[in-house]
Chains A and B, each alone.
Chain A
């Protein structure tokens, strides 16, 4: 049942972090609706290479929605028109013949463009590095049954832990806020007994780092939740806010 599409692509091209970028238009013929969005870009790049032009740089790795590397703003929507879908899981059957598709990188001060559609998301790594972990000295693993976790909390912690760190929340937020990401990372530990020891410092440090990176603040618009390929709920943001409030009141510093 596959059909063929002729498409016009408007793609952001930028040589490097310091250079000015601009949109460039490409025409692509004979794209199968069975292809994934990234395969369509692969075809474009092969054609560009044959023409002796620079291929379009874009991030990708697993191509099955688990690594969080792919990161495209497609027609003004993070990861394209589908919900709970990464760019790599998006298929061309979602588009129509003669469509124009605008492809942009994530736009945020904290995510500077490295080249074309590739942005630097190490800001997320730095936020993780200041508190997104539990410090446990090695030794025998405790017996599973000796660490009781209510089922609801285990489920919620897992709901938070499915974050793939792609940055779509930041891209979709009108304030380029990273609160959904940080909220998920804070929640995942706050909900489990293993996360209690560092609970207070964790939220304080991660919030401080988030601000240092230059992300905006949350206006509770829920655009992030709608754009999140992992379906993370904005409940995580409120949990982080509460954690922060508690840490401010009871924390030693």
Chain B
């Protein structure tokens, strides 16, 4: 195993990416690209409020696009990299302090609780769970036994079926809010990891990041809320 490692490390790119800085660069880049995906995904999904025909037209357009498999593969790569690196960095970070403190207190204002940055791994894992459920509900619905998939339903009808499910709906609501919390730190953090921290832009990006988190969280949560909890 060691010689595999040694051979790989002779490559400059592998060497760069295996450093802690390189890992965070990739983490930031993939995170930012995934944020872009979130925006597109949310914009598409919100069409359901405009009417099922709008939603179906969008779904049809998407599914008929020949480049969809390429986009899906790209998305998968982003997810896998982001998740894989979160595990490697998190385990290295735990190993970096084998003996913890008796008690630790932040010198930042606001204390520990409100800061999303203290929960990135936890929220990330929760989002992963939510994403897996979501994939099994939507992308792999035909393999999903729990939901009783009906292939005669159009995309909007299927989405509404899922949004009325007593397991999926609450998970979607909470998952969306946790996702919003996650990206509220992740968005601005990605810029810093990629090397952009500038007195002119960073204060703006930090505020934008919070707004982005709120928009993503509430945006996605609005659908399970409206259809399941508000009973529409």
Contacts and interface: CB of A to CB of B under 8 A. Distances in A.
Contact of B96 (A12, A175, A207, A223): A175
Contacts of B101: 73, 76, 104, 107
B20 interface: yes
A242 B185 CA distance: 20
17 contacts: A75-B105, A108-B97, A109-B98, A174-B104, A174-B118, A210-B20, A211-B19, A217-B89, A234-B197, A235-B197, A235-B202, A238-B194, A241-B24, A241-B194, A243-B195, A244-B22, A244-B195
B92 interface: yes
A214 B22 CA distance: 15
Contacts of B197: 234-235, 237-239
Interface in A211-251: 211, 214-223, 226-227, 234-235, 237-245, 248, 251
Interface of B: 12-13, 16, 19-25, 89, 92-93, 95-108, 115, 117-118, 120, 185, 188-189, 191-199, 202
B123 to A, nearest CB: 12
A153 interface: no
Contact of A76 (B12, B92, B104): B104
Contacts of A244: 16, 19, 21-22, 25, 195
Interface string A155-189: 00000000000000000101111010000000000
Given A218-B193, A234-B192, A241-B192, A109 B22 contact: no
Contacts of B198: 235
A76 B102 contact: yes
A102 interface: yes
Contacts of A78: 107
A77 B23 contact: no
Nearest to B28: A241
A226 B93 CA distance: 20
Contacts of B191: 238
Contacts of B194: 238, 241-242, 245
Contacts, number: 141
**Looking at chain A's contact residues, is the secondary structure mostly helix, strand, loop, or mixed?**
mixed
**A-side interface size class:** 35 or more
The 7 closest A-B pairs by CB, nearest first: A242-B195, A238-B197, A216-B96, A226-B107, A175-B93, A217-B20, A216-B93
Contact of B19 (A175, A207, A226, A242): A207
A106 B193 CA distance: 25
A240 B21 contact: yes
A210 to B, nearest CB: 7
Given A248-B12, A253-B12, A220 B193 contact: yes
B93 A174 contact: yes
A238 B189 CA distance: 10
Contacts of A23: 102
B183 to A, nearest CB: 13
A62 to B, nearest CB: 23
Given A237-B197, A241-B194, A215 B96 contact: yes
Interface in A104-122: 104, 107-110
A108 B102 contact: no
Interface string A68-108: 00000101111000010000000000000000001010011
A109 B104 contact: no
Given A172-B107, A237-B197, A241-B25, A109 B189 contact: no
Contact of A220 (B19, B96, B102, B189): B189
Contacts of A179: 20-21
A10 B115 CA distance: 29
Contacts of B202: 235
Contact of A227 (B19, B25, B107, B195): B107
A241 B118 contact: no
B69 to A, nearest CB: 30
B96 A110 contact: yes
B20 A102 contact: no
A149 interface: no
Contact of B193 (A10, A107, A215, A241): A241
A102 B199 CA distance: 37
